[in-house]
DNA sequence: TATTAATACTACGACAGACATAGTACGACA
DNA sequence: TGTCGTACTATGTCTGTCGTAGTATTAATA
């Protein structure tokens, strides 16, 4: 019985998950990792290194932008917000997902 | 508009596709690639190198076994058949797929 | 008859995303 | 005093995919 998901399977959708969580409001690493955890009922736990390297990649591609802000407790955080290009990319990935799902399901029995 | 699927998305499911196609009968590289092509309505075309390296990996893991056989036209082919371990692995991947799908869909809007 | 297309692969190297491991730094709490 | 939670950064490795190239045979086509 498959009980947890190997992240290799998810490869290519970590970016999409992050962008989705930034659609409504800017956020930062630790919060996003907790959101992914709770949204998926602990079924998917993104690795810290995976998450932060995704931030770097997404920013380099112009899909998110970052700014520093002090939290209530005086700690400094790096926040990220989605850019218009990021929103566009997110929509593309959603379309791609539907296609991908259909393709893979041809090979799934039951 | 996403028109074709980047294989990066599919990463981790090529093995599953191959195993699926071996469930009913042994087959070989060229035929499998054509079957994937037609089953997916040309939407997914597996690369030759990807396919043959998958064979190597799957055989090394004991999920498939190979034998040589001459085709009707006298040409030699390497056929692969799925092993019991391969069938088991295939079933696991199917279960994992359902889980994965559910997880990802939390992050897909519309 | 010469050339091209289809078949059926193998070899080699590069790349990118995921991940392991480790370390930093600060505050809260016991 | 030490551990836990927070919020990261650095570095290097691994693996599946993919680009490129080459080999060899047969079938079809000009």
Is it the case that residue A2 has pLDDT exceeding 70?
A: no
Strand D bases with any atom < 7 A from protein Cβ: 6-12, 16-21, 25-27
Q: Which nucleotide's C1' sits nearest to the alpha carbon of A72?
A: C27
Residue A20, number of CB atoms within 10 A of its CB: 23
Domains and CATH numbers, chain A: 7-105 (1.10.10.10)
Count CB pairs under 8 A between chains A and B: 104
Helical pair A14-22 and A84-105, crossing angle rounded to 10 deg? 140
Name chain A contacts of B99, Cβ cutoff 8 Å.
2, 5, 43
3-class DSSP state of A46: coil
| Average of per-residue pLDDT across A60-78 | 88
Residue B107, number of CB atoms within 10 A of its CB: 23
| Average of per-residue pLDDT across B10-25 | 94
Which range among A9-13, A40-44, B97-101 shows the weakest confidence by mean pLDDT? A9-13
Q: What is the pTM of this model?
A: 0.91
Kindly indicate the confidence band of residue B4, based on its pLDDT and cuts at 50, 70 and 90.
Answer: low
Nearest to B100 among A10, A99, A103 (CB): A10
Instruction: Give the pLDDT confidence of B59-91 residue by residue, as tens digits.
Output: 999 999 999 988 766 678 999 999 999 999 999
């Amino acid at each position: 019985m498959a009980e947890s998901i190997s992240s290799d399977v998810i490869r290519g959708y970590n970016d999409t998950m992050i962008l989705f969580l930034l659609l409504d409001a800017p956020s930062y690493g630790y919060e996003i990792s907790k959101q992914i955890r709770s949204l998926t009922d602990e079924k998917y736990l993104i690795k810290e290194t995976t998450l932060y390297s995704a931030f770097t990649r997404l920013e380099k591609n112009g899909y998110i932008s970052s700014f520093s802000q002090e939290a209530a407790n005086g700690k400094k955080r790096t926040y990220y917000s989605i850019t218009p290009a990021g929103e566009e990319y997110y929509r593309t990935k959603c379309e791609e997902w539907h296609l991908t799902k259909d393709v893979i399901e041809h090979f799934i029995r039951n």
